[in-house]
Structure 1
Amino acid sequence: MRDVTVVEVGQTLGSSSRTRDRLADGAARLAALVPGAERVRVAVEETLAGTARRTREALEAARGRLVVTVGGDCGVELEPIAAAARRHGDRLAVVWFDAHGDLNTPATSPSGAFHGMVLRTLLGEGPAGLVPSPALKPSQVALAGVRALDPDEAEYVGRAGMGDEAALPADAAVYVHVDLDVLDEACFRSVGFPTPGGLRPEELLDHVAALAERHEVVGLGITEYEPARPQDEELLARLVPELVRLCAASGPLQIERRAARAWPAEVAETRGGWLLRHTRGADRRRCNSALPPLRGAAVEEAEAFYRERGREASVQVTPANHQRALDGELADRGYRAHTPVAVLVAPTAEVISRAVPRLPVETVADRGTWAEIFTRLDGRAGTREIVSRIATPAAFLAAEGGTGTGLVVADSGWAGVFCMATEPGHRRRGVATAILGQGARWAALQGAERMYLQVEARNEAAIALYSRLGFTFSHDYHYRSRP
């Protein structure tokens, strides 16, 4: 997967398992199960602190991609989660899929093994030299599948008041930790401590899919694999790529969810995980297409919605590289592919620093004139009604003399750019650059640290301009339609 870096840490020192020597081989096998990803192998040191330092160095080199850390024992999660906490602050939520809480301290641990203390260490109580700064708060942690707590761990959980994954804030950035002993021992036994009463693989995938549908997943860890049975390896060959796909697709999907809110359809309905959009009199696919779920997309749900409205069914296949199964199913059902789109993203501060304006840009305060100004440049049906439904906070920008426009809509840390248009006679004169610069400055005032925009994949001139202003590729999508 081109947007994923696998960091392999074959650490065994933190484990108390009698068969812990298998963990290094398990880490290598897990890494090999992620197709097409960049792969970094961390050299394991003789101390936990030494391996943590090397892991930190590997993480710093993988910025901008989803990092999947594979172990090794659960102690390998120390640095990836600490790095996520430094980056996302209080927005970070850690969902801990594990049979065990890993919430002991050096004073309470029955075994003295670090893999049973790593989460408590991340929460600020652990062996000297391993406690990160900042530490997590208990409110940032959700336990999932935990069923074997030591007495001191159970007391801590009750006192700290940890919640579950369903209660995470809407804007949470989620790190998903998976200790494979979260799986029920009846279906998976290649771990040091197989435990009854766990999740079945499909249940684990359903949990992670639900998280990825609601939140941006900013990291994934998979640990504690001790290869022992061929059937367990076969199970992982199906499970691991799907876990990675769901987590890697979450960021692009959250951008698309924001874009759907920013450019609102007349009717937006959720059925079977689909976001189904319909707008009378508009010829824009964005507000007349179905946005699919990441898992279990029943095409019949979307077809029924559009059939009820006398309109051809149209699906926005996004993110394209994570929806290949759906794309193939639609092709088999006679849907034709068209309108490929690239989605670009940029740090707001980067756009501000690069988009030096060369002409005046005004923020149009009268919302009633937004559609009129843009329609004059765009000329497509239904624009007026769509623009009239756009919610605040939003800023409509117009270059001097109405030679160009842009719309910026802020939403939970992101700002989407829409309605970019320039009069043909004024292109290549810095109109778009000036508008984007002003839009970025407005976005920064709204607390939006990142920006996104959508551009037709064949529009090489626009993509080159946006690249000069700091935008890079996030994902792509296309539509499939059938009468």
Structure 2
Amino acid sequence: MEFTMGGRLEVRITPADVGKRVSVRRRSTGGGSGAEFTDTVGVLTSWNDGVVAITRKSGESVRILESSLVAGKVVPAAPARRRGPAASFAELAAVTARAWQPVESEPLGAWRLRAAGGFTRRANSVLPLGDPGLPLGEAFERIEQWYGERGLPPYIQTATGAEGTQETLCAELERHGWRREVSAEVRIAALAPVGDLDADVSAVRLTREPDAAWLSRYQRFSIPGPHVLRVLGSGPSVWFATVAGEASGAGAGAGSGGGEPPAAIGRCVVDGRWAGFMAVEVAPEHRRRGLATAVMAALARRALDEGASAAWLQVEEDNEGARALYDGMGFAPHHRYHHFRPA
């Protein structure tokens, strides 16, 4: 990382650069005879009372004493991805929201309050795109009130790590006492290579609605009430994939859902050029047999038939197995999203 100008380290950022992407170098704390330095890259989210705050693309907020800075400069946005589809944060935020819609929704300025009886944070959190039409402190109070009236914890979903994401909002949430609970990656890829995966898709059954067998494998609720089915069925063009368990026979899962749950399931929402993959799950006793790959390939081929050309999915940062699987399919991180809740 190059900071020198004419052989000298210089701090070339000021409080006027709040909101811009910066790279800084600071003296590390601790003993030792030689000078040690730490570099930080991210969005400058505040500069107050001698403390500089920078939000990294991971969503982590780093606070740095102004007196420890030895160099700093404004840097351009991260280079455009060289593989996979081109996509903006605004486009992906809209597409991912349409693929997982709440039961109840209400505007707060340009923000959107969403609720679905507590089924998943995504369907029970605020989507803060644009201006809430209120000072942030008042908006946060209104959000807590709205979710409190429904007996739900208040969450706000934010994003970091791409051009146009919400690092400044993340910093404001932390300043008002909200804390990150969960973070995940939004990944994108070209769709055709997913459809071309070497997988036996003959055992994958595709349906327009989740039956009782599919729901028995999707372990995200105790009883699948109407609100669960509303969320799962939301989206422009929704497909559900099922691979029957070995002991259930080829027709397992087609009727009342008797017998053992399916070996594998998945969900895909086709929306214009995008195909979004969700709820890809494989029973523990059936893992490492290529079933997740078969589910993804079968859904991708159906999405290609409907005219889609790009793929997206979301994966939590601590799900190493899924991350490795999607790496092999060509999915690369585009940005991260986070759910904030009052401390």
TM over 0.5: yes
> Which stretches of structure 1, 4 residues or more, deviate above 4 A after TM superposition?
33-36, 247-250, 294-298, 381-384
Judging changes above 3 Å, is the alpha-carbon distance between structure 1 residues 439 and 253 closer, same or farther for their aligned structure 2 residues?
same
Q: CA deviation at 1:269?
A: 2.1
Q: 1:34 to 1:424 in 2, by over 3 A?
A: closer
Question: How far apart are the structure 2 equivalents of 1:460 and 1:281?
Answer: 26
For residue 481 of structure 1, what is the aligned residue in structure 2? 341
Q: Secondary structure at the match of 2:177?
A: coil
Q: Report the counterpart of residue 315 of structure 2 in structure 1.
A: 455
Report how many residues are paired. Answer: 244
* 1:393 Cα deviation from its structure 2 partner: 1.3
The answer for the alignment partner of 1:74 in structure 2 is none
Report the equivalent of 1:272. Answer: 109
The 3 A distance-change label for structure 1 pair 268 and 375 is: farther
Amino acid corresponding to residue 214 of structure 2 in structure 1: I
**Is the contact made by 2:155 and 2:339 (CA closer than 8 Å) also made in structure 1?**
yes
Partner of 1:396: 240
For 1:338 and 1:379, locate their aligned partners in 2 and report how far apart those are by CA, in whole Å. 18
Q: Do residues 323 (structure 1) and 166 (structure 2) align? A: yes
Cα deviation, 1:63-92, whole Å, max 9, x if unaligned, reads: xxxxxxxxxxxxxxxxxxxxxxxxxxxxxx
1:312 aligns with 2:153: yes
Show CA shifts across 1:225-280 (max 9, x none). Answer: xxxxxxxxxxxx99x97xx79x9998223222222221111112222221211111
Matching residue's letter, 1:400? A
Counterparts of 1:264 and 1:444, CA distance in 2:
23
Determine helix, strand or coil for the equivalent of 1:291.
Answer: coil
More strand by share: 2
Structure whose residues are more often helix by fraction: 1
Contact kept, 8 Å, 2:217 with 2:281, in 1: the verdict is no
CA contact (8 A) 1:272 1:301 kept: no
Aligned residue for 2:199, secondary structure, equals coil
Q: Percent of counterpart pairs with the same letter?
A: 30
Alpha-carbon displacement from aligned partner over 1:176-211 (angstroms, at most 9, x marks no partner): xxxxxxxxxxxxxxxxxxxxxxxxxxxxxxxxxxxx
* Cα distance in 2 for residues equivalent to 1:350 and 1:250: 18
Deviates more, 1:273-282 or 1:412-421: 273-282
User: CA RMSD for the aligned pairs?
Assistant: 3.1
Q: What secondary structure, in the 3-state scheme, does the structure 1 residue paired with 2:196 have?
A: helix
Of structures 1 and 2, the one scoring higher in RCO (CA 8 A, sep 6+) is 2
Using the TM superposition, give the Cα deviation of residue 478 of structure 1 relative to its aligned residue in structure 2, in angstroms: 1.2
Trace 1:363-442 onto structure 2 (pairs within 5 A): 363-365=206-208, 367=209, 369=211, 373-381=214-222, 384=225, 385-388=227-230, 389-401=233-245, 402-442=262-302
Asked if the contact 1:354–1:470 (Cα under 8 Å) also holds between the matched residues in 2, the reply is no
Distance in 1 separating the partners of 2:22 and 2:130: 18
Q: Which structure's CA Rg is the greater one?
A: 1
Residue number among 333, 338, 341 corresponding to 2:184 in the alignment: 341
State the distance in 1 between where 2:216 and 2:181 align: 24
CA contact (8 A) 1:377 1:423 kept: no
Q: Say whether the 8 Å CA contact 1:320–1:476 is kept in structure 2.
A: yes
With over 3 angstroms needed to count, the CA separation of the structure-2 counterparts of 1:264 and 1:290, relative to structure 1, is same
Give the drift of 1:340: 1.1
Q: Does 1:444 align with 2:286?
A: no
Instruction: Give the whole-Å Cα distance in 2 for the aligned partners of 1:403 and 1:478.
Output: 30
CA contact (8 A) 2:268 2:278 kept: yes
Q: Deviations over 1:277-324 (max 9, x none)?
A: 111142x11111111125678543354144134133211111355322
The residue type equivalent to 1:412 in the other structure is G
**In structure 2, do the counterparts of structure 1 residues 455 and 396 end up closer, same or farther at CA, with 3 Å as the change threshold?**
same
2:122 matched to 1:286? yes
Judging changes above 3 Å, is the alpha-carbon distance between structure 1 residues 281 and 289 closer, same or farther for their aligned structure 2 residues?
Answer: closer
Check whether the contact 2:109–2:131 (CA below 8 A) recurs between aligned residues. no
Q: Quick one: structure 1 residues 278 and 343, their matched pair in 2 at CA, closer, same or farther if it must change by over 3 Å?
A: same
